Amino acid sequence: MDGLEWSVLEPLIDAGRAPNFQKLIERGVGGSIQTAVPTFSPVLWSTIATGFGPREHGILNFAEMGPGGQLGKPYTSNTRQVPAIWNMASEQDRRVLSTAWWVSWPAEKIQNGRIVASYAAQAQGRILWKSGVWADGLPDLAHPPSLMEEILPALQDGAPEGPLRSEFNGIFGSIPQEGAWDFPWQRDRLFRMAYHGDRTHHRIMLEQLAQEIGDLNMVYYGLPDVAGHYFWRYREPSAFSYFTPPEQTKRLGNRIDIVYELMDRWLGDLIDVVPPETNIMVLSDHGMHAFNLANPRQIQSGGHEAGPDGVFVLAGPAVQVTGLLPKESRRVTNIFQVAPALLHLLELPVPEDLPALVPEHIFSPEWIQNHAVQKGPSLRSEFRPATPPRVPGEGYDQEFIDSMRAIGYVGGDEEE
């Protein structure tokens, strides 16, 4: 769950408004996870999936850098230089289900798994539902190819003018477009796209879990990050040096909290569909806080450039039960240790060249006694060679850049 932040989540837990997080923490551990800088989502989620830093996995930004420092083609899965957890697990006879992970398009042809890919997670709202795309299917969106037929109804229902539009209005309400509302309306329009994307992927994940639960099941949600970037000024107006209209604060000030409550419900959906003995990990790639405090025209009012810790929750039979750790000693692990931890939970050897060790302190002594950490040889030499980024169709790379500009990751005249 991209951008989850304890300063938002913990008060909701205390108020009983995030019961699924609370139950998970009570039977496991809740703490913080150290991120890395720069906090670009494709870089961090690639580190989480591989256990390697950007110099090793090769994902250095949202896209390759062109002449003059301009963003070029978005990074795609074939540009990754090391195996991801889905490669490592499937090669060792573990069944994998992965939905919407960053830098996962084109869907890799793993032998024991299902992958629903994301061309570029932040831009998928503009790309998945371009006219005709969902009717014909984005190329290499899913593996195996037959999976495309199964997910197509969800993609069709997720279209911008489809049934999810009224669902969004029921959860978040709508806002006017005219006058002083034009700026938040533009943010709301893009936030709607992010909701459609996450809601569609949540449906796909649940449907696929209902068919078969893998040994490793992964799903990415970006909505907490998007909400934090757009709506922090309305949640905490006193942190900013400029005036925020009270009517906007009243209507939009609870948007971030509503997103966290929604994430809690979706977490509950996932918990309900898997066996009770499942080990469940929830993590964010970074935290978030008030940002761009002096410029009212800056698109993003929540940020994470300084690298605040993210949220980490783990529960299940392998976990040492500690509950929510105190704020002064909350850091549990770092993003480099996620892949080793997952390999350990899958009872697979951890490649000797991974830079981080398995965080054994989060597992119960009984688990460690019965499941000793295994070391194995590097898997990099057998991994396919990296190739330049692919573009799924004409103009999609520009769609990506336009989306990055719209959400504030690429500066224009207004933001500069």
List pLDDT tens digits, range 350-366.
Answer: 999 999 999 999 999 99
pLDDT (0 to 100) of residue 399:
78
Which residues have a Cβ under 8 Å from the Cβ of 370 and sit 6 or more positions away? none
Q: For the whole prediction, is pTM greater than 0.85?
A: yes
Q: Which CATH number fits domain 6-406: 3.40.50.300, 3.30.70.270, 3.30.365.10, 3.40.720.10?
A: 3.40.720.10
Rounded Cα distance, 350 and 240, in Å: 46
pLDDT (0 to 100) of residue 201:
94
pLDDT over 90 (residue 156): no
pLDDT over 60 (residue 335): yes
Residue 28 and residue 315 in contact, taking contact as beta carbons nearer than 8 Å? yes
Rounded Cα distance, 296 and 240, in Å: 9
Please choose, from the candidates 40, 66, 104, the residue with its C-alpha nearest in 3D space to the C-alpha of residue 390: 104
Residue 303 and residue 289 in contact, taking contact as beta carbons nearer than 8 Å? yes
Structure-token pair, residue 68:
């003059």
* Helices (H) then strands (E): counts for the chain: 16, 15
pLDDT over 70 (residue 177): yes
List pLDDT tens digits, range 276-324.
Answer: 999 999 999 999 999 999 999 999 999 999 999 999 999 999 999 999 9
pLDDT over 60 (residue 259): yes
pLDDT (0 to 100) of residue 407:
73
pLDDT over 70 (residue 134): no
pLDDT (0 to 100) of residue 412:
46
Residue 63 and residue 72 in contact, taking contact as beta carbons nearer than 8 Å? yes
pLDDT (0 to 100) of residue 128:
65
What's the mean pLDDT in 138-142? 87
Rounded Cα distance, 196 and 156, in Å: 11
Boundaries of every domain in the chain: 6-406
Residue 105 and residue 77 in contact, taking contact as beta carbons nearer than 8 Å? yes
pLDDT over 80 (residue 126): no
pLDDT (0 to 100) of residue 223:
95
Amino acid at site 32: S
Q: Chain-wide mean pLDDT for the chain?
A: 92
Please choose, from the candidates 226, 237, 261, 231, the residue with its C-alpha nearest in 3D space to the C-alpha of residue 9: 261
Rounded Cα distance, 115 and 143, in Å: 5
Which residues have a Cβ under 8 Å from the Cβ of 383 and sit 6 or more positions away? 81, 82, 83, 87
